[in-house]
Amino acid sequence: MENKGTDEVEKLKTKFLSAWHNVKYSWALKSKTYFSRNSPVFLLGKCYHFKADDEDSPTESCSTEVCDAPPATGGDDVEAFRRDFASRVWLTYREEFPALPGSSLTSDCGWGCMLRAGQMMLAQALILHFLGRDWTWSEALALQPLDTETWTTSAAKRLVASLEASLQGERPSDPGPMLHAPGAPGRAEEADIHQREVYHRTLVSWLGDSPQAQLGVHRLVELGLVSGKRAGDWYGPAVVAHILRKAVEEATDPGLSGITAYVSQDCTVYSADVIDSHQSCVTGGADALPLTDSRAVIIFIPVRLGGEKTNPEYFSFVKSILSLEYCIGIIGGKPKQACYFVGFQDDSLIYMDPHYCQSFVDVSTNHFPLQSYHCPSPKKMPFSKMDPSCTIGFYSRSVQDYQTISHELSKVLLPSANEKYPAFTFMQGHGRDYNLSAELTPEKREWPFIRDPQSSAATAGDFVLL
């Protein structure tokens, strides 16, 4: 009887907490992010210039939501930036999904923001892998800006409208209106567009909020249990990097067999380990040979860019990283918030915010709505507010790609006059060659961030201000 009473109390606490988080995180006040017309904007390796051809234009800033730029080069770039940003996959808090492993929680509101940021970075790697950096979603510019109604309510309305339209036969079964746009070229291009939308939808379904989703929050929480993390706990950027690696490595969907992940050790990327990750052996006995470049590799590098605050000497380094097309962004945050950094302008970072509570979407259904997985509104924050604990991500398609990446990054990582220590380094050989894990247990090798239960000190890799 006592156990039953305790269970009822826990259920009530969960319901009250869920209700509070719903109020706190699902209300989205309409706000605009302003960008200078006089400085370039970088978004995951792409550069955009908002300045119009008229050099004497009095307008010095514009919003990407409502911008009265003239139909010149500047205006075209504003639209191109909006399309590019809105095409990135946006993962946020969700509610009313199936209970998470090891708990009765049906929402990640209030604690899952770093997991969501990690999912967004992983989504960008998958976009590069399947669609390429130049891909944009055909409906990106049709997204409505966040209004003063809850985003959850807005998403629900769109879902109902979509279902009604499909029942009445008003919408074609193909993914986007561009597929049947007047004057569209031949069938080959239509087939290509359709195939890209299939990849897009499949990619989002892998990140869905159900136990069956290969890279969904349920799977990430399940893997976190091995490291002592439970649903409702705080996750640091280093912890999430290792969880994402395990999720990608253990994914069973055939579509994910051509990609794997690697996490650096103590801010060091061991080139031989990455090259080994690129290669996989053909099954066939002792004579099996490695297949060169048979897999792409997502490289996660947990770093710390200062002490209590980010060292200003690293600001230019972060800018250089986000200017590279093979960079898949940075997960980290600012005090009390985790977020996904995707670009910058001047001294401000551009990021995607997971702190919106949206309704559960069943991604196992055909033609599930995609709108709530894309964000129409970028946000900015000063570099000075960036938490020093973060994880940087890169996508490497082949061994040759990795050699180019390591060569280019080695130049970026050269010590400056004031900052003698690079954020991370590249080393030849394998990590085991340096005897780093000789005295570690197998569990510690697999999950290096697990704390020693006899030690109360937090590890640097697990530290993050959320």
Residue 75 sits at φ, ψ, to 5 deg, of -65, -40
Stated as kind and residue range, the H or E segment containing 338 is strand 337-345
Q: Are 466 and 337 a contacting pair, CB within 8 Å?
A: yes
Alpha helices in 93-211 (DSSP H): 113-130, 151-167, 187-206
Distances (CA, A) of 371 to 29, 204, 365: 18, 11, 15
Distances (CA, A) of 76 to 38, 46, 142, 351: 15, 14, 16, 22
Distances (CA, A) of 435 to 262, 267, 305, 425: 18, 16, 26, 17
355 is catalytic: yes
Count of residues making up the chain: 466
Which of 109, 113, 357, 375 does the annotation list as catalytic?
A: 113
Return the DSSP state at 447: S
- Cα 234 to Cα 290: distance, rounded to the nearest angstrom: 40
- Cα 99 to Cα 108: distance, rounded to the nearest angstrom: 10
- Cα 114 to Cα 282: distance, rounded to the nearest angstrom: 36
Q: Is 190 exposed, middle or buried (0-12, 13-18, 19+ CB in 10 A)?
A: middle
Which of 49, 76, 346, 355 does the annotation list as catalytic?
A: 355
- Cα 177 to Cα 193: distance, rounded to the nearest angstrom: 11
62 is catalytic: no
SS3 of residue 270 by DSSP: strand
Extract the tokens encoding 310: 């980010």
Which of 353, 374, 387, 390 does the annotation list as catalytic?
A: 353
Return the DSSP state at 187: H
- Cα 236 to Cα 277: distance, rounded to the nearest angstrom: 25
List residues with catalytic annotation. Answer: 113, 353, 355
